[in-house]
Amino acid sequence: MTEIVNLQTKIQQHFANVEMAILHEQITLQITTSDLIKVCYALRDIVDLQFNQLIDLCGVDYLSYGQDEWATTSATGEGFSRAVKGHQPSATMPMPGRFAVVYNLLSTVLNHRIRLKVFLPEHSMVVPTVTNVWSAANWYEREAFDLFGIEFAGHPDLRRILTDYDFVGHPFRKDFPLIGHVEMRYDAQQGKVIYEPVSIQPRTLVPKVIRQVGIEENV
């Protein structure tokens, strides 16, 4: 715990007005797109921080954050699916932007970790690339681009990485259905593999519920 407090004071010294949150002994800095590169270089190069490794980089879509799916009035024969409203944009956006890019950093020299978070509004989903700071970012940024459609300005080779060749859409967005939009099969008559709209129905086996109680008791 003392190490976290130490790191916290160091961060406060170097970055005067950065929004900082500590949860479970992990520090998260929330920064803006314009500060990102400056902060990343500083975190890497300042002698008492030395975050020399980018451990992970990922996108997050906050579209349906904090919404549950369990509100129903009458019983039907549809099982749990009757209660599912689907993901709608929440009226009150809990976050400063729909999307976020999260950077998990590690210092192997000083043995500490930190997390950076950059929020992006839906209309300008562009972040500067950090490949020049840590070259490990290359594929991680391609992944975030592929799955969420976040653009990384200045990335040397921003192509899709995990999805199929010629894939359409960004599958990890919350408004992309779990079953997808197309299915693929081999068509014997045409002698090739073809895509068709999905023939299955989405089904919810366990609806999402949010409960505040019940965890702390008898631990």
Partner 1 sequence: MSKIENYTLNFGPQHPAAHGVLRLILEMDGEVIQRVDPHIGFLHRATEKLAESKPYNQSIGYMDRLDYVSMMCNEHAYVMAIEKLLGITAPIRAQYIRTMFDEVTRILNHLLWLGAHALDIGAMTVFLYCFREREDLLDAYEAVSGARMHATYYRPGGVYRDLPNKMPQYTESRWRDAKQTAKLNQNREGSLLDFLEDFVSRFPKCVDEYESLLTDNRIWKQRTVGIGVVSPEQALQLGFTGPMLRGSGIAWDLRKKQPYAVYANLDFQIPVGSQGDCYDRYLVRVAELRQSTWLIKQCITWLRANPGPVTISNHKIVPPQRVAMKEDMESLIHHFKLFTEGYCLPVGEVYAAIEHPKGEFGIFLISDGANKPYRLKVRAAGFAHLASMNVMAKGHMLADVVSILGSQDIVFGEVDR
Q: Name the residues that contact partner 1, by CB under 8 A.
A: 23-24, 26, 28, 52-56, 58, 60-61, 65-66, 68, 102, 104, 106, 108, 111, 113, 115, 134-136, 138-140, 160-164, 171-172, 178, 204-206, 208-212, 214-215, 217-219
For 192, the token pair is: 């090739």
| Kind plus residue range of the DSSP H or E element containing 76 | none
Structure tokens at 91: 């009226």
CB of residue 53 to partner 1, shortest distance in Å: 6
Task: Give 33's contacts (C-beta < 8 A, 6+ positions apart).
Answer: 118, 120, 126, 127, 128
In angstroms, the CA 39 to CA 22 distance is 18
* Least distance from partner 1 to the Cβ atom of residue 197, Å: 19
Q: How far is the CB of 26 from partner 1 (least distance, A)?
A: 6
Task: Compare residues 42 and 55 and give the one whose CB is closer to partner 1.
Answer: 55
When the beta carbons of 16 and 205 are compared against partner 1, the nearer one is 205
Nearer to partner 1, 47 or 205 (CB): 205
Q: How far is the CB of 189 from partner 1 (least distance, A)?
A: 26
Q: How is 92-121 classified by DSSP, letter by letter?
A: S-SSSSSEEEEEEEEETTTTEEEEEEEEE-
